[in-house]
Structure 1
Amino acid sequence: MTSETYFESALAAEGENGGTQEANLSHYPTLIYDGPFSDSTEKAEPLGLPEETVDAETALARASESLGGASLTPDGETLGSIETYDFSGTDAAGRSVEISITKRGGCVLTMMKTPEGAAEGKPEDAEVERYKAAAADYLSAQGYPAMTSSYAQYYAGIAVFNFAAEQGGVVLYPDLVKVYVERQSAEVVGLDARSYFFSHRERALPIPALTEEDARNAVSGGKKRRVRPAHDRNGAARAHPENARDGGSVLRMHRQIRQRGVRGIHQRPKRRGRTAL
């Protein structure tokens, strides 16, 4: 399966119509989508998790801490390539929340609160910056290293920012974290770090054989050509129509992931309503 996260690909299969997505999946390199449910990682071990293991009590404490204080109860365990302790309950504001903590390392693998609001369409530039800043601040508070926003998607009531790790100025697209921001409040209501923990590691990066100018000259025969960027100035991919996904459906998908386990979902849901640019 190409690695559009299961949160989104499964929702597309439900056939909910009428929303806007800020990405054309067919126009991104496969590398970006080589996530936890691709064929290449079906039998892979996660590379980005610490070796230490934690017990259920420690996992519960870390889950509550990551949410800024929450009333949580155990909700079973998930087996698979990345095993987790699962919890559900309410956060400090009384909002329903589900969260999974990895047994290895005690890291937040996925988190989803019940979103509110139903804003649709692409937000104004100032709003995009506000949402992106909220997502970046959240990742920093959760202890992630330097990350760069690679693209964004907008659904009914939710903005999803995709952050990739950096190393020496190189963007590591497989090391991807998705942050869900509620558009009504600019509050982070979801996290999907599966791709990141499957792929993240220190890499031995080669020295580029060509400068950027040399590469441009090689593909253009020395002539300057105007290239339309794949993203706008806010880091969001160019828009095209897509299926709407409401917050309740996202939460249902989160539950399905936990029920099946990280390793248990390899069938690619059928895509509907995709329109190539």
Structure 2
Amino acid sequence: MSTKRKINILVGLFVLSAIWGATQYSQKIGYKRYLDAQYQRMFYELIGNVETIQSDLSKVNVSTSTKQNVIILNDIMNQSYSAQEKMSQLPLNHVALGKTEKFLTQVGDYTVTLAKEAIDDKKLDEKERKKLYELQKNAQYLSEELGELQRNIAKGEVEFFDVVAKSNKKLQKSNKNIMATSMIRIEERMNETPELIYDGPFSEHIGNIKPRLKGQKIDKNKAKEIALKFLKEKNVKDLTYDGRLKNAHIPGYVFKNDEITLVVSETAGKIVWMIDTRNITEPTIKKEEALNIAKTFLDKKGYKNMVPTYSLRYDGTTTFNFSYKQEGVVVYPDLIKVKVALDKGDIVGFESQGYLVSHYDRKMGTPKVSVDQASKSIIKGAKIFKSRLAIIPTEGKKEKLCYEFKVKYENRNFLIYVDAITGKQQKIFELIKNENGTLTM
């Protein structure tokens, strides 16, 4: 081969290499811009949620109308849960943000409790107003700090892509990093949030219960195998290890990819929760089909004898609550939530914490009063549509066997729980139906 030909070949290879390099660089820049745009959108929505929370907390503290309180408190609840969802999707350290996430959970759960009381025309007392004021001040601080971080992002001083590219250890150790420093300040302030004690609905009353989950301890490698097996239907080939939740109610290992985050319990290797943040398009699936998908999913994952108890439609998805059924009795504490996307019918959310905390092989007691005797505790004039036995949690971390009555009274629907041993009423929930589902208050 002549020298000239060799030179031509080398020049050609150099040109091809340069073109390939330029293409790769262009693709990386495009991906970086896309990722930053997506994260910025979620961050701005998070700020909007928190601003609304602090504004609504101020409004409810000056309101004297219980009807108005129901509206405002329900909005706070929705905004707080939406804020938690946005925070979970951002490239922030989930372990380091535990107190901030707990604050948002407390705001949501506490306002649910107050809304339930407001429906019964109970006005806020001085102690409740003081708690709301303390929550409002922390929400205001959180809003201001996030706003300052937003301004730094707008100036180009912070880019989410760079945060993703760094390891969590670097992010924790680098106080020079604007994002990390801001979140550390927020965490320190959230640590001052007062502990709230409230009687939440059955789906939330697990925070102070010691988990019953038993089994061998697993390492992160085994946990990754379990996570990939759980996501088999999604054709996920690999996941990135994202840290250990050492101080969580159920300690576990966090794994993620571009769209999915999930936690595998350190004990027994169970999936604690999973969220898929893929873009969801126009719904094509009806509720009944989505319910069958959720049932089949639980059955395949080894969760038998689960019955649906509640559903909520939101943002192109429907979330179904399932409770364990033993010997014909619905066991409300053993709760699993499954979220189905209504465009493709795939599972985009899963949470089994209630089940993992509460489930065990119970010895079912025998009712000492009949269903007819128990029904006599229902107010006269109420129409009973349905009754069944159920186990419900109590404030004292215990459980009670009750008759569950679904009734209608003065054009309003209720669930009334009557102790199957004493015949006395234990709980009352109002069922509020809208286009999204049924809300229990």
TM-score bucket (shorter structure): 0.5 to 0.7
Find the aligned partners of 2:221 and 2:440 in 1 and give their Cα distance: 48
Q: Residue 119 of structure 1: CA displacement? A: 5.2
Q: CA deviation at 1:276?
A: 9.3
Larger radius of gyration: 2
How far apart in 1 are the matches of 2:316 and 2:220?
33
Provide the residue aligned with 1:88 in structure 2: 256
Task: Summarize deviations over 1:234-267 as a string: whole Å, max 9, x none.
Answer: xxx642488xxxxxxxxxxxxxxxxxxxxxxxxx
Structure-1 residue corresponding to 2:222:
58
Contact 2:203 / 2:335 at 8 angstroms: preserved in 1?
no
Show the 5 A alignment for 1:128-167. Answer: 128-167=287-326
Residue among 4, 7, 11 paired with 2:81: 11
- Residue deviations 1:7-38 (CA, integer Å, cap 9, x gap): 97732568x9xxxxxx99838x956134333x
Q: How does 1:56-135 map to 2 (within 5 A)?
A: 56-68=220-232, 69-70=235-236, 71-80=238-247, 81-89=249-257, 96-117=259-280, 127-135=286-294
Contact 2:273/2:352, CA 8 A, preserved across alignment: yes
Q: Give 3-state SS (helix, strand or coil) of 1:132's partner.
A: helix
Q: Does 1:46 align with 2:232?
A: no
Amino acid at match of 1:65: K
Residue among 331, 337, 352 paired with 1:193: 352
Name the TM-score, length of structure 1 as normaliser: 0.65
| Number of aligned positions between the proteins | 210
What is the CA–CA distance in structure 2 between the aligned matches of 1:99 and 1:177, rounded to whole Å? Answer: 15
- SS of match in other structure, 1:32: coil
Using the alignment, how far apart are the partners of 1:62 and 1:31 within structure 2? 31
Deviations 1:187-244 (A, max 9, x none): 11110111111111122221012222232245356x883533559xxxxx642488xx
Aligned to 1:35: 205
Q: Which has the higher contact order (CA 8 A, sep 6+)?
A: 1
**Equivalent position SS for 1:33:** coil
Q: Which has the higher helix share?
A: 2
1:35 is aligned with what amino acid? Answer: H
Shift of 1:174: 1.1
SS for the counterpart of 1:181 is: strand
Q: Percent identity?
A: 23
Structure 2 counterpart SS, 1:106: coil
1:225 corresponds in structure 2 to: 383
For residues 252 and 216 of structure 2, the distance between their equivalents in structure 1, rounded to whole angstroms, comes to 13
Q: Which residue is 2:69 aligned to?
A: none
Structure 1 gap segments, 5+ residues each: 1-6, 17-22, 91-95, 232-236, 243-274
Task: Report the counterpart of residue 332 of structure 2 in structure 1.
Answer: 173
CA distance, structure 1, for counterparts of residue 358 and residue 254 of structure 2: 22
Please state how far the C-alpha of 1:113 moved relative to its aligned partner: 0.9
Indicate how the Cα distance of structure 1 residues 230 and 276 shifts in structure 2: closer, same or farther if over 3 A, else same. Answer: closer
How far the C-alpha of 1:50 sits from its partner, in A, is: 2.6
SS at match of 1:161: strand
